[in-house]
Amino acid sequence: MQVDVVMPKMGESIQEGKILRWMKKPGDKIEKDESILEISTDKVDSEIPSPSPGILTKIIVPEGETVEVGTVIAAIETNASAARIETSAPPPAATLPQRPPAVASPTKPMAGAQRESDRFYSPLVRTIAAKEGIALEELERLSGTGIGGRVTKRDVMEYLSTRSAKPTPALRAEPGLQRVDLKDLQRKYPRPLFEVVQMDNVQLKMAEHMVRSVQTSPHVEAISECDVTRIVEFRAENAERFEKQEGFKLTYTPFIIDAAIRALKEFPIVNSSVEGDKIILKRFINFGIAVASPSGLIVPVIKNAEEKNFLGLARAINDLALRTRNKKLSPDEVMGGTFTLTNYGIFGNTIGTPIINQPQVAILGVGAIKKRPVVVTDAGGNDSIAIRSLVFLTLAFDHRIVDGAIGGQFLEQVISNLEQYDFNRAF
C-alpha cells in the first residue's frame, strides 16, 4: 500500500513550509517515526518523522521548494515486494517554476498579471491577490516579513485592511531585510578578498525579529548584582544525586526561572503585551528560554510554567534544550511566550543588554557566575571581606508600559527570591 507523505501542519498559523533537506533517498528502507526530511517554516526548522514504515519510493518536491500545508511531497510503499522505486530525482529547485502561472484562477486572473515577477509568491498569496484584485505591481511594493523577504498571507491581509482607506497602495512600515542582488554584491565585494554568504532561514527570521523589536519598543535596561553563593553550594552538594535520579545534569537555570516566575506573579504587567493603546495582561506564564542551536538562536517556550514545581521546570528545560539542538521542536513550541530568559553567561560574558522578544515587554539576561571578594556585614553590623559567587542580572523592558520603578522593583524581587531561595522547593 502506498502512503503519501504530506507537508505537515505544524501550528495553527503555519500555512506553508520549505524543504531544507531530504535525509532519505528513493529506495531507502525507513521505520515509522524515523526522520526523513528537514523543513523550515516561518517559526522554526524541524525534522519530520515518517508516517509509516516501508520504503521511500518517490520524492516529489525537491530541496529548496516551498509548498502549502497538505501538499504531497513524497511516497512510501509499505509492501516491500510491491515497491517501485523512482530513482530519477526531481529537478533541482532552481529549474522548477518559482511561481504559479500568471493567471491565478480560471475565473478571475490576478490584476496586473500580464508579466511575471522576480519575487516568489506562494499559491496562497496569489489566490488572495486574485480574489481581492491586487495588481502584481501592488504586491511588489509590499515589504515581506517572511523568509528572505517573501510576502506572507499576514502581509497581504494587513495591506488589505488599510488599502480601502487610502487612495494609494499602503506600504508596510515594519522594518525588515531588503532583498539584495547577488551580482551587485559580487561586483561590490570581488573575490578573493570577500566572501558573500546568504543568511539561512533562522538567521533571516532572527534578524528581522530583532530589528522590529528595537523599532517597536523603547528599550531600558536595569542591571543588578546577585549573590548566588547558597545556590552554587546547594548545586555542588546535590549535583550527583540529582543526575542519578533524573538522568540529566542539574543547572542553575531552573532556580532562576523559578525565581522569575514568582516575581512575575507579583508584577503581572511585566508578563503582558501591548496592542495599540491597550495592555494585555496574561493570567498565565509561558516562559521562553533562549537556546543556542547549530542553526542559530531559538526560543522554545515552557507553556503554563507557573503550574510546574522545581523538578517540572528542570525536566521541561532539559527536554526543550535537547529537542532544540536536535531540531525536534514543532512551531507551536516556539510561539506564545510571555517572558524570556537569555543566559549569555554560559559563554563567559559578565553583563549583557538583551533585546526584547516581541510582543513581550521584558527579557531577563543572566551573566556568568564568578567568585569575587565582597564586603559582607554580619548581624552585629561588623564588616568583613568574603569570597562570594556573584552574577549580574539585566532586565531589558519596554518603557511604553514598564517604567523604571516597576522594572527595578521586579528585578530586585527576582534577586531576593534567588538570594533567599527556599531549597525545600527543589527536590
The residue ranges of every structural domain in the chain are 2-95, 121-216, 220-425
Spatial contact of 3 and 76, defined as CB atoms under 8 Å apart: yes
Q: Between β-strands 301-302 and 278-281, what pairing exists: parallel, antiparallel or unpaired?
A: unpaired
Residue positions annotated with a catalytic role = 399, 403
Q: Between β-strands 301-302 and 287-289, what pairing exists: parallel, antiparallel or unpaired?
A: antiparallel
CATH topology of domain 220-425: Chloramphenicol Acetyltransferase (3.30.559)
Spatial contact of 323 and 365, defined as CB atoms under 8 Å apart: no
The per-residue pLDDT for 251 is 97
The interaxial angle of helices 123-132 and 153-163, nearest 10 deg, is 20
CATH architecture of 2-95: Beta Barrel (2.40)
Q: CA angle 317-398-157, nearest 5°?
A: 85
Fold match flag (2-95 vs 220-425): no
Mean pLDDT by 10 residues, the chain (427 residues): 87 78 92 90 82 93 89 90 65 41 37 50 75 80 70 80 52 57 78 81 83 95 98 97 96 98 98 95 97 84 97 97 89 92 96 96 98 93 96 98 97 98 90
Question: Which three three-digit cell numbers place residue 133?
Answer: 484584485
Question: Which three three-digit cell numbers place residue 15?
Answer: 500555512
What residue type is 85 in one-letter code?
I
Spatial contact of 389 and 376, defined as CB atoms under 8 Å apart: no
What residue type is 28 in one-letter code?
D
Spatial distance between the Cα atoms of 74 and 7, rounded to a whole number of angstroms:
9
The per-residue pLDDT for 82 is 67
C-alpha of 63 from chain center: 22
Residue at grid coordinates 506600504: 171
Spatial distance between the Cα atoms of 326 and 275, rounded to a whole number of angstroms:
35
H/E element, 365: strand 362-366
Mark out the alpha helices in 195-304 (DSSP H runs).
201-216, 229-246, 253-266
pTM of the complete model beyond 0.75: no
